[in-house]
Amino acid sequence: MNVIWPRMFKSAYRREPVLSFLVTVGAVDAIIGGLSQHGSLLFFGVSTVGVAIALRWWQVQRSKALQPEQAPKYYLPPRSTRHLPVLSISEQQPPN
């Protein structure tokens, strides 16, 4: 389990650094507020985590709606019989 946590945190911070920071700050605030009996800090931490998760969910939903499923575009025909010409540098005209 100790090996999985650093990988999970690194991949989360690489993909969404701002939202991961908000979740981390909110979780730390919630833990500190819960352990020290400060209800306002606990509420602030839980609400920060909730807002970050809601924002991430909204981004995922928006990206799914904007990307219609399309067939891939191919630049060459599937089985081309035409071959590319062989490039040769003539000795009469040296490159500049």
Rounded distance, CA 26 to CA 18, Å?
A: 12
DSSP string, the chain: -TTHHHHHHHHHHHH-HHHHHHHHHHHHHHHHHHHTT-HHHHHHHHHHHHHHHHHHHHHHHHHHHH----PPP-SS-SS--PPPPPP---SSS---
CA distance 37 to 92: 88
**pLDDT class of 19 with cuts at 50, 70, 90:** confident
Q: Where does the pLDDT of residue 68 fall: very low under 50, low under 70, confident under 90, or very high at 90 and above?
A: low
For the whole prediction, is pTM greater than 0.85? no
pLDDT over 70 at 44, yes or no: yes
